[in-house]
Amino acid sequence: MNKFQNILYAIDLDDKNITSLVYALEFAQLFKSRIHIVYVNDPQAGYRHPTDREDAVALKVKETAPESLWENLDIIYASSKGETAEEIVKYAQEHQIDLIVVGHKHRSKIYSAMFDSEDVNIIDTALLPVLVVPEK
């Protein structure tokens, strides 16, 4: 079995559901991995968060995930601006990421035909394992 030393979780600060975050933190605990929790703000969307910085990412994790999942982990919080898939893959290459974890929201066929899904873009762009967790 692979040893995942560095796991990247692509977080959505607007998402109320934390299923994929919980999985990412559990995987990091299971493999005793460092976890990089990265938020990418779309430049076309403007600034939805007045603090598009690492402290906003850390606050989101601490507000939504049980403390028992993150209290003893080696966590690196990061933020970036640009196209999500490109920024996630670039970050993964620069930080020797072994596994990317993303959440997936089910979309209707019409929505899927009209718009790209960020999780699919990451899968198509990354050249390493990607764990896709369905959001409930």
**pLDDT category, 105, cuts 50, 70, 90?**
low
Partner residues linked to 38 by β-bridges: 10, 78
* DSSP one-letter code for 135: -
Distance CA 7, CA 24 (A): 8
54-63 pLDDT, tens per residue? 888 998 999 9
pLDDT for the residue numbered 111: 46
Report the range out of 12-21, 42-51, 96-105 with the highest average pLDDT: 96-105
CA atoms within 13 A on the CB side of 38: 29
Map residue 103 onto helix, strand or coil.
Answer: strand
**C-beta separation of 117 from 104 below 8 A:** yes
The predicted model scores a pTM of 0.83
* CATH 2.60.40.1930 matches 6-134: no
| Domain chopping of the chain, boundaries | 6-134
Joined tokens for residue 15: 């998402």
